[in-house]
Structure formats: structure tokens, C-alpha cells
Chains A and B, each alone.
Chain A
């Protein structure tokens, strides 16, 4: 099976083509112009990760919501589940940037942290 991944490491935006075997393993990888592209496409295929950034409700601050992020990237397919948790959280001001709002987010070993003072 063929799979295309656009490398986003640099502005060249190479279209990397992966040939996959029966078990989704990478048989060959072409189209990348450098080694960084190979590393990116490999990890993007095997375990794509994203940092989740959003807002949670906040009480007692100058704004009704507080921006938050996961302090490390999480598996891409956990984003939706993550948003369901995020939408139920309510933080209480005063808050400092970096304060943990949800510890061990989704049991993934990463924290959801505040990204500003409020």
C-alpha cells in the first residue's frame, strides 16, 4: 500500500511516499530530500503526535477562559477525547503560567498546563 506524508520540517514541504507492507511496516520511503524528512515521515506514520492547545472555563480572572496546552505532544488519535475532558474543566484564578490544570491528562503521563497568568 502507498501512503503520502507531507514533510513539515522545512519549507520545501517534500511529498514523502511510503510503501507499506501487510503489517503497516515501512518497506520503502522516497521523495524526502534529506534525512530529517525520513525521520519525520517515519514517526508521523508510526505514532503521529500533536500538542493539544485549547481553553478551559475560568472563574475569578479578567477573562472567562484560560488558554491551556498539553506540556508534551499526545497521540493524534487522543485529541478528540482530550477535548471532551477540556470542555468539562473549570479553573479558578489566580493562575500562573505553567500551573497544572489537569495532571496526568487522559492517563498519558502528560499534564494540561495554563499558558498565561490569569
Chain B
């Protein structure tokens, strides 16, 4: 088996992996390797051809491919190594990576530190349990996005979209622009799951109806989908009899959420947060396995790629430092706890030696509130939404003034 020795191995060449590898190299790690299973770098950004990326990062609105291209160009200016079309099969706690590609066959990669940056995948129909047959024409929104934007073919003429996540909303517009008809977007929640901007610019602009508190209760058709039946739901998401209506369509897109891709992490023994479905990490973005770091959508699902880049630079920097033998045991450990109306917080544990940026999501929408960080900092928020990730920076000095070893982050009334 071919043996490879590197300082930092980054698994995944999407936005997280790109930013992490650049930061690790900048920190001084000499051999940095990106392992990517696709034929090119950029990850999911390459199929997100709409604009709205990079407003924080580059102070302008870029499309997904443009955002990716900028980072790819940065990588090209460095000596960071890239292995494309390489599939990672296993990661061990001793930081060995088994991978395979057609050029070298099996590879054993020895890394001083590893950054997990595998991203996320879409929830599928199986996870939803919609009754009915299994006809062709049912796709996840991201799969359809790939067909349209990378392969150049629109997989239907009349679509219904289940779920109002951002990819679903974006695809409603894409299908419409490409001449297909989107009959409806159906959302079980009482509000759209995606960003308001996308509801306005992707649905309202094209008069596409959004049915809230509704779901698809049946899929019709044998070989190819012919129609779906939708119905309103009660608070417990049970269909309300008498509200059913049948909509003809040849395509059903599912945009019902994303799940961090952690098969490799779990097999390696990385501890997973049951809420984010991503690894538990400390303020260095390090998992419970020493020298194994995580960032981006593999850690928790982000809504802004700008935040992915920022978080991943942090992971890359600490991974670089670890590979150089420069990281030290932290004297103090503070547990981070999600309090009132906070669904989760990343990182899960912090020291009081480094500045830290917390990323979190609320459980339900609220207006005119404040985000309270363990009494150390309080930030007014005109509104908080589950679809919009919150972030807050805390200094080591602020952390040192904390009493006890638990930091509770919560939403409080003004």
C-alpha cells in the first residue's frame, strides 16, 4: 500500500476544507493535503449558481462558483497538495487515513492532524415516510440542482416541492426560469424554513404558491410520478381530513433538511452531538480525539458560507498548530450549555485562554429579545429565527470573569 506522510490532512475540498487547508498552511504546517472525492474542488458551491454568497467575507454578493473559485485560486498560489477523485474509506484515532483512487489504488495517509470537512447530505424520502409507490421523478432538491446546473438538464416539467428550505426555494426559481412550472411549495411549519429573501425572490417574484402547515400525504403514479396529494396539518403534524387536494406533477423535489455527513467520524470514535448530528468540539474546533478537528457543515449545518469559511479557518489554524506540536493542554475547561430558546451552541467546550466565537441557533422565532452569554455579554436582537444562525465573540478576559465551569447561552426578554 502506498504510504503518504503529511502534517495536516483535510478531508473534503468544499468551502470548509479550502479555508481550513489555507489556514493550516498559513500557520506554518508544511505538508497540507486536501482529499476530495469529486473531480474538482469547491464542493456544493459549484452547483449553487445563484448569488448571495460572500457578503460578509468579500463585501460583495458572489455566486457559489465565484466564491469557490476565489478560494481555489488562493490554493493554487500555495503548495497545498490536492488529491481529487479520492475516496476516504476509514479514519483511525491514531490519525491514519485509508483512501482509494484509481491512480494509486489504496493509500495509507499518516497525518499529524486531521480536519474533518466532509460537509452534509440531504435528508431523503426514506427519512420522511410518505406513503405511496416509489415512482421515478422524486429527487432531493440538491440532486435536482446538480442535474440542472452542472449536467445541464431539467428533470421535469411540472414540479411540486416539499419543504421550504433554501435549496427548495432556490430550485423553485431555477425550474421556473428554465421553463418548467412549479405548482406549489409545501411546508409543514407555520413559517417558511428558508430565508425571507428567498421566499420573496424565488417564490413571490414568480407567483409560486407556498402552502404552510401542509404536507404531501400521498404520491401517485406507477412508473413516473403523476400527482401528489397535499393536505393541511394540525399542530401535531397530522393531516386534517377534508383538506386534501391533488396536484398533478411529474416531479417532486424534497427540500427537507440537511444532515452532517459523519459516518467516517463516528467510525473513528468521534463523539457526536445528538442535536447537531456533528462532532462535539472545543474552542480549537478539536473533537474528543486529539488532533482530529472538524468544521463547516460536517460540524453543524450553516446557512452562510461566510461563516463556514471563518469557522474552518479557525479549525485549520489549530490543526496546523497541533501538527507543529505547539498546542498545549488547557488548564480550565468550561462547558457550554444551550439555555432558553437555544437549540444548540458550537463549540461545546471552551478554555479561557483563547478568544472564541460561538455559533448557535434558536428553537423558535422571537422578536425584541437579547442574546445572553453567561452574563458576560448581552446583545440586543430585533428578531431571532431558527433559519438564521447567530454568532457572538467572547474574549479570554470575559471568560476569565466567569464563575463556575458552565457557560449558559440563552435568549432573554428585553
Contact = CB atoms under 8 A, between A and B. Distances in A.
B61 interface: yes
Contacts of A55: 49, 148-149, 152
Q: Which of B177, B179, B367 has the most CB of A within 10 A?
A: B177
B409 to A, nearest CB: 19
Using C-beta atoms within 8 Å of the partner chain, give the interface range for chain B: 35 or more
Contact of A116 (B51, B69, B196, B201): B69
A117 B72 CA distance: 10
A11 B197 CA distance: 9
A54 interface: yes
A64 interface: yes
A69 B152 contact: no
Contacts, number: 76
A42 interface: no
Interface in B372-399: 382-385, 388
A54 B200 contact: no
A57 B152 contact: yes
Nearest to A4: B204
A57 B151 CA distance: 10
Contacts of B383: 11-13
A33 B382 contact: yes
Interface residues of A, number: 26
Interface in B299-336: none
Contacts of A117: 69
Given A62-B40, A117-B69, A10 B49 contact: no
B388 A54 contact: no
A115 B62 CA distance: 9
Given A97-B69, A116-B65, A10 B150 contact: no
Interface string B40-84: 100000100111000000000111011011000000000000000
Nearest to B68: A116
A8 B192 CA distance: 14
Interface string A53-97: 111010000111101010000001001000100000000000001
Given A54-B177, A57-B152, A62-B39, A8 B196 contact: yes
21 contacts: A11-B388, A12-B367, A12-B382, A33-B382, A50-B201, A53-B49, A55-B49, A55-B152, A62-B39, A62-B40, A63-B150, A63-B151, A65-B151, A67-B49, A69-B49, A79-B177, A83-B177, A115-B62, A115-B69, A116-B65, A117-B69
Pairs A-B, 4 closest by C-beta atoms: A65-B152, A116-B65, A67-B49, A8-B197
Given A8-B200, A54-B49, 5 more contacts: A6-B199, A12-B367, A53-B49, A62-B40, A67-B149
